[in-house]
């Protein structure tokens, strides 16, 4: 199975096939509204605004598995992101990224690029960069500022 074989539920309840993103460079991030890294939403939105017209998509997957830092429901999460950070990129429904109930997409991503803790996601705002063919090419730690990923995005978009 490859990335494009998965689908996920958008924040509005609609199912989205990831095959819709074929040919695009993706940054997939698990997010939270009450996390020390939450201000990264600003940097993520800046990346999205800079690259969206060049074949880039940013996919955010809210997750409440780390210190109960995403307690809101889908509507609350969307309102928070739009009001505080002007988020325009796709927000998906809240998921789990670790454990038996981890979303299949995240099981795939972790299998493709493990991190410091092996397959587990360490914390919110772990980021995966995916090339235009759906290959997971890089995994970034939660503390990696979004702006530092710009050069890697540029490189992938140029291919």
Active site residues: 35
Whole-angstrom distance, CA of residue 87 vs CA of residue 48? 9
Whole-angstrom distance, CA of residue 108 vs CA of residue 6? 9
Phi, psi of 20 (to 5 degrees): -65, -15
Q: Please report how many Cα atoms fall inside a 13 Å half-sphere around the Cα of residue 115, on the Cβ side.
A: 18
Q: Helices 40-51 and 150-158 sit at what angle, rounded to 10 degrees?
A: 20
Report residue 40 as tokens: 């990264």
Whole-angstrom distance, CA of residue 14 vs CA of residue 139? 27
């Amino acid at each position: 199975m490859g990335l494009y074989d998965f689908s996920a539920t958008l924040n509005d309840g609609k199912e989205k096939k990831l095959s819709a993103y074929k040919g695009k460079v993706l940054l997939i991030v698990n997010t939270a509204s009450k996390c020390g890294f939450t201000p990264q939403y600003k940097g993520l939105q800046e990346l999205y605004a800079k690259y969206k017209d060049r074949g880039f998509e940013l996919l955010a997957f809210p997750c409440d598995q780390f210190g109960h830092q995403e307690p809101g429901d889908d509507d609350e999460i969307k309102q928070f992101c739009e009001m505080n950070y002007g988020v325009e990129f796709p927000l998906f429904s809240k998921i789990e990224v670790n454990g038996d109930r981890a979303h299949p997409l995240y099981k795939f991503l972790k299998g493709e690029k493990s991190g410091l803790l092996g397959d587990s996601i360490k914390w919110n705002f772990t980021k995966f960069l995916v090339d235009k063919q759906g290959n997971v090419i890089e995994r970034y730690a939660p503390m990696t500022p979004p702006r530092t990923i710009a050069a890697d995005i540029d490189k992938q978009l140029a291919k």
